[in-house]
Structure formats: C-alpha cells, structure tokens
Amino acid sequence: MVNLSRICYRKYGNLVDNLRLYVRGGSGGMGLPRLGGQGGKGGDVWMVSKKEVTLKRIHDKYPHKRFVAGVGANSSVKGLKGEKGGDYELHVPVGITVTNDDGRVMGELNAEGDRVLVAKGGQGGSFHSAFTPSKGQTKHIRLDLKLIADIGLVGFPNAGKSSLLTVISHASPQIANYAFTTLRPEIGKVMYDDHKQISVADLPGLIEGAHLNKGMGHKFLKHVERTKQLLFVVDVCGFQLASKTPFRSAFEAVQLLTKELELYKEDLLSKPALLVVNKMDLPDAEHKLEELREQLENPEEFSHLLPHDMIPRTNLAFRDVVPVSTITGLGLDQLKRRLRGSLDEEAAKASEPLHRERLGALRPSRTPLPVWGP
C-alpha cells in the first residue's frame, strides 16, 4: 500500500509543448567543368528522438531556432568528387509529431532513435547541371508533443485548477481571480514512495464557445487531446465567467464542459474521467454537493437548466466524484489515490491482450501424436 503521507514532490516549470523551427539543407558544392568534376551534395537536416530531451530545453538552448546543414565541398584537382556536407541532427523528445507550416505530417518519432528527414541538401554541380550546384531545401516546421501528461485538468476559469495543482504536486502556476490566468499548460508531477510518478497538467481555462475557437479555445482543446485521462474541476457553488453573464450551478458547469468537448471532438468523451468538486470549505457546500450528485445521477431531469443547444448528447459517467478543499486539505489524499488507481486500471486493461497472447504461446501444443501401425 502506498503511504501517501510520505509522498515527495518535484517542481516543474511551464511546459513547452510545441516549437516552430527554421531548417535548411546545405547547398551543393561547385563542379569543376574543365575536368568534369562533381561537387559534393549538401548535408541533410534530421530530427532524431532521444530520451531526457524536452522541447523547453531546445527552446532555451537554441533561441534563434535555426538549423542549417553543412555545404557540400567543391570539386577540385585534388578531389574531383567533392565531399558531402555534414548532416545536422537535432535531438528531440520521444513522442513528437513533425509537421510543415501547411499542417502536413512529415513524420512521427515514437521511440528513441527514430529519425525524420525534414530538409534535404542540394545536389552538387555536375555535367547535368552545367556544374552549377543547387540549394538545399528551406522550410519552417513544427514539433508537437502528442502526449503532455497523464491527467489533464478541465474546468472554467476560477474553478480552482491552479490551486489544486499546487497542493497535489507543488507546482507553482500563476493564480489570480481573472479569466485565463493559465496561459499555457503547467505541469506538476506527484512522486510516490515506490517511485511511481503521475503528471498532471493545468490547462488554460475553458470558456463557453471554445469549440468555435473563442478565448483560447482550440489551444485548450488541443491540450486536452494530449492527456490520457481527464479531471473535471468545478466550484461546488457554481461559477460566473463575467459580471454580465448568468450565474451557473456546478451541474451546469459539468454539462457545459462536456458539451464543449463533444462539439470539438466527440472522441474526447471516451477518455476516462473523474470529477473534483472544489471549495468544499464554503458555507452550504455539503448541501450543494448532495444536490450535484442527484443531478448527475439523473441528468435528463435537469436538462432544462441549460440552453437547448448546449445539452450534451452523451452524459459522462465519472469514475468517481471527489469533494476537496485546497484550503483545508479535505479529500486531497483520496484524490491522489483515485488518480493513481484510475491510471493503473487503464494500464492493466491495455496490457491484458498482450498477457493473454503470451499465455497462449506458453501453452503446450495439442497436436495429436502420430499412431504407428504394427
């Protein structure tokens, strides 16, 4: 059993989950017309996946974000065929999708050592090109992390997501009472006694209309796609996005969040999800929690509380509803247990087919023995 009182923590800074880079293959070398010499080919630019590398490290180490391969050597009397220019290999994290500026996928780096060619070098000058070399390819490319965290916090601004991340992982997101406090994902990691780690991402606060790219809509929803499981966070007393907008209950918050995900990409609702009911230290919180539980058990009976076009077609079945208070610490240990349990449960499901396959391979063959005649 994990002793939660002895959990240690590691602080993580702002996550860099995508980068735009300039890449250029090397130019070819000059040919030598009088002797028919061929110039060397320009070097290529490669993305090569490597563990322990992060996009943030690349961002900090190469602020110019320009990567150029070597130029091919000119043909000469001493060497009629010029040497190839040096390739440029940039180490990037495992789990990267490489796309060009048009959004076309150039390749994926799913395992350590995977390679993607992003810019070819130019050809050396030769008889066929009047001994004139060609330039290398020039491109802008994007590196996108496919998975940023085990758990993604989903909620409207001021639901208490940043405070929750702070108390369960000792990350230090910016916290204030206004919309879009979190401008990019903040990652915290909870480390247990047995060295198990769970990464939790505080995603930019969602607003109604995010699926139409209002606010930080599509950026937020893209981050949601990159987490294994979802942790909805709602204020037990409800929320109000702005002074002139209607006040909504915790149940309405859950349903509106569900609808925004559904309108953007319905597949997101297939992710395992838990619900945190935050701010349980507020007056009348217990009564409001019981009211919310009843509404979640019978959502159709309370659908009249929502605008007709914001009623979700699919009601989420949360694996658990965990009431917490980041002020008093109520429910935080239970939440940590449930997060780990939910992830372990999914990992066991994913490994079950492989386990059955291996068991089948170990079973003795049932091929009947040959019967020998007299």
What does the pLDDT look like over 161-218, one tens digit per residue? Answer: 888 998 888 666 554 443 334 456 678 888 787 888 898 988 765 554 444 444 444 5
The answer on pLDDT for 14 being more than 90 is no
Average pLDDT over residues 62-67: 96
Q: Whose CA is closest to 162, among 222, 218, 208, 203?
A: 203
Average pLDDT over residues 77-105: 94
The per-residue pLDDT for 365 is 55
Any idea which of 10-24, 110-124, 129-143, 148-162 has the lowest mean pLDDT? 10-24
The per-residue pLDDT for 295 is 96
The rounded distance, in Å, linking the Cα atoms of 365 and 289 is 58
Any idea which of 45-49, 65-69, 184-188, 210-214 has the lowest mean pLDDT? 210-214
Kindly state the percentage of the chain with pLDDT values over 90. 55
The per-residue pLDDT for 141 is 97
Domains of the chain as residue ranges with CATH = 16-145 (2.70.210.12), 151-351 (3.40.50.300)
The DSSP bridge pattern shows strands 45-49 and 88-92 to be parallel
Cα 83 to Cα 25, 41, 42, 118, 283, distances in angstroms:
15, 7, 9, 21, 77
Residue predicted with more confidence, 220 or 73 = 73
Dihedrals φ, ψ of 81, to 5°? -100, 110
Any idea which of 139-148, 210-219, 309-318 has the lowest mean pLDDT? 210-219
The per-residue pLDDT for 7 is 33
| pLDDT band with cut points at 50, 70 and 90 for residue 158 | confident
Any idea which of 1-5, 262-266, 311-315, 366-370 has the lowest mean pLDDT? 1-5
Any idea which of 85-99, 183-197, 305-319, 360-374 has the lowest mean pLDDT? 360-374
Any idea which of 113-117, 205-209, 309-313 has the lowest mean pLDDT? 205-209
Tell me the three-class secondary structure of the chain, residue by residue. CCCHHHCEEECCCECCCEEEEEEECCCCCCCEHHHCEECCCCCCEEEEECCCCCHHHHHHHCCCCEEECCCCCCCCCCCCECCCCCCEEEEECCCEEEEECCCCEEEEECCCCCEEEEECCCCCCCHHHCCCCCCCCEEEEEEEECCCEEEEEECCCCCCHHHHHHHHHCCCCCCCCCCCCCCCCEEEEEECCCCCEEEEEECCCCCCCHHHCCCCHHHHHHHHHCEEEEEEEEECCCECCCCCCCCECHHHHHHHHHHHHHHHCHHHHHCCEEEEEECCCCCCHHHHHHHHHHHHHCHHHHHHHCCHHHCCCCCCCCCCEEECCCCCCCCHHHHHHHHHHHHHHHHHHHHHHHHHHHHHHHCCCCCCCCCCCC
The rounded distance, in Å, linking the Cα atoms of 128 and 52 is 45
